[in-house]
A and B are shown apart, each in its own frame.
Chain A
């Protein structure tokens, strides 16, 4: 797989520019030589000045950094977008149905498609949610589905993020930045707009309010300003025109959630919470949590407030449940998966474990519950020592890991210092569920800025790009 050149999204094998990149290439050819470096500096300065930053855990020196932004857009053809759009929505519909099933009749277990232990033995499974009805049967209001491309029309889902997926603020800010830097380019290319994301989000959140609320009060809940995604929480609250609350802003009286305001207590109906299940309510979950609100789970169970996403969605998005998503799609929707899974080895199975240990240098190994690019091994780009060290960790607890073949992720042209070079990318579109399941035409393209690197996470030296879905015209 590594012997062939990865799929280049801009250039065909013969070196010619692909049709959907031509307008951009022609436009760039008209510009003077120092145009891109100057624009890149301008972008960096603007991001720093605007304070669009993320925090890096474990980095004592400076807890805030600007996320590297690349000024060359990733361009997606309408036909390719249709696959992404339909495939991501299909997946989220199936995952929602799965969650409803898990917390009610568990038909999929009875049908023998998923082992019971995979569900009820999962640390992210919440027995407290069993039998509880959530408004509209929506569990996953916001999902981030990570998709990679390996060839023309050939996509894979890497993982589903169903808890508190982040990054959408960068999708929106990157577009604003591009329109500020290159307004003339938008006149030449039919780029689909994405600015209405927060409108759709707010509409969906209002649609899942408890019945009592005719004019629902929606809030965004953050763990606080030291959280790595705090900028995004504030951004979303501001864009939707709703309050950004922390745990201490809320209190529960008679199973009703209120926020402390300058005009006295005000009832809250829908909480878009960006705080993990574990920390939400010290009375129901981790008793040492100071970020949550005592009694909020009781209010939730009483149907007096809606949480988005619902509690217990993690049971559907860990890397060992991932394996079963194609079956879910067939079981609940009666459809064939539009986007495939990456073949996955479950190291809890002896055969898969043996195969994996014998082929570590060519595989990617991930923790079942891991995220953010932490705790993973990319075989082909790792040293012998790193592989040996990781082998020990696997052997200690095989069930904690899955392995996948190393995909030849597609590359996009990326501005590196002075040259435009191919760099590996993935894509996270954000699927919104309320009355309907939709996504805005775009997503967050993450790019591995180091040559040859396949890890796109911002915490691991990744950057972002604006993602342009071209409209049919």
Chain B
């Protein structure tokens, strides 16, 4: 298929997945902000739960540029949900996904496009007032449902061709990226003072984070014990049976790339295989010895390299005038 089409589909599914992850994160933040154990008096500036979604998505400075004054839940929500000037708001992500999809309607099934279009039309119709009246939880549920639904329609109707593989690839690349960021920020910004480890605040923070990736009940079923950082790391990094873990994501990515890569484009497959092997044969003790933050940052870097390789080989190849791929590093901003 055309590289541009693969690129549009890849980013469409990344954007929908990112919108879902943002909704999940805001939902959890909202729940945390209602807890009696808010650590508002903590010395850590980022302990304010409403700063979390900004930090995780690397949007703190963008937010402060357009929102002077003290950080409030209303302002963060507006910025992250309906602010069309913030390219990472749910509104902007869904708009971008729909625009990417609109130019790809020839490749998708009619059901997929209708679903995407209806989702956008409804989102566009939701004003801030309606959002507050209907309840923010209802909205987050709605976004999650839309994302589930689109994935379901895709799974249920689309030909298992290359286009399908690039849509899936986008979903899992974005999901892996999100899981890394979530784990890292929890580790860094929410870890309370040593005295509080194992305490109530710690428990609520970890459980909220697990809930944001729908993993709390899975944790309980697997471990049947208190929540510890090591187990959370094991669950979200190494367990392949948890659908949002890094291992589960890399299983999918590696499988997809084994199908897509050809003799002259083996590098993406090799890199994905390396990442996959690291998770498949890794032990959580190793992770903790390396240091969770260091481990995650190294992983994220490799994930970004993989994204670059995808650009060079599939999504935005550059040819010289003999028709040969230059394999140069290309900057891809998404569409």
Contacts and interface: CB of A to CB of B under 8 A. Distances in A.
Contact of B103 (A225, A262, A264): A225
Given A234-B106, A251-B319, A259 B114 contact: no
A136 interface: no
Q: Which 6 residue pairs across A and B have the least CB separation, nearest first?
A: A238-B106, A225-B103, A253-B323, A234-B106, A260-B3, A262-B314
Interface in A262-290: 262-265
Given A251-B319, A265-B323, A237 B106 contact: yes
B321 A253 contact: yes
A49 B264 contact: no
B2 A261 contact: yes
B138 to A, nearest CB: 23
B266 interface: no
Given A51-B114, A234-B103, A238-B106, A253 B322 contact: yes
Interface in A246-261: 246, 248-249, 251, 253-254, 258-261
Most B C-beta atoms less than 10 A away, residue of A48, A244, A258, A259: A244
Given A260-B317, A262-B1, A235 B106 contact: yes
A50 interface: yes
A51 B2 contact: no
Given A50-B114, A51-B117, A243 B3 contact: no
Contacts of B323: 251, 253-254, 258, 265
Contacts, number: 73
B125 to A, nearest CB: 12
A295 to B, nearest CB: 9
A363 interface: no
Interface string A24-56: 000000000000000000000000111100000
A48 B4 contact: no
A354 B172 CA distance: 72
Contact of A260 (B4, B260, B321): B4
A260 B6 CA distance: 11
Interface string A205-232: 0000000000000000000110000110
Contact of B4 (A230, A237, A248, A258): A248
Given A234-B105, A234-B106, A243 B114 contact: no
Most A C-beta atoms less than 10 A away, residue of B3, B113, B262, B314: B3
Given A225-B103, A265-B323, A49 B118 contact: yes
Interface of A: 48-51, 224-225, 230-231, 234-235, 237-238, 243-246, 248-249, 251, 253-254, 258-265
B204 to A, nearest CB: 43
A243 B319 contact: no
A368 to B, nearest CB: 34
Most B C-beta atoms less than 10 A away, residue of A230, A254, A261: A261
Contact of B99 (A48, A225, A253): A225
Contacts of A244: 106
Nearest to B1: A262
A117 to B, nearest CB: 41
Contacts of B5: 243
Nearest to B103: A225
Nearest to B317: A260
B319 A238 contact: no
B121 interface: yes
B102 A51 contact: yes
Contacts of B264: 264
Contacts of B166: 262
B13 to A, nearest CB: 15
Contacts of B113: 50-51
A76 to B, nearest CB: 29
B67 interface: no
28 contacts: A49-B114, A49-B118, A50-B113, A51-B102, A225-B99, A231-B105, A234-B103, A234-B105, A235-B106, A237-B106, A244-B106, A248-B4, A249-B3, A251-B319, A253-B319, A254-B323, A258-B323, A260-B2, A261-B1, A261-B2, A262-B1, A262-B2, A262-B166, A262-B313, A262-B314, A262-B315, A264-B317, A265-B319
A144 to B, nearest CB: 22
A238 B105 CA distance: 8
Interface in B289-335: 313-315, 317, 319, 321-323, 325
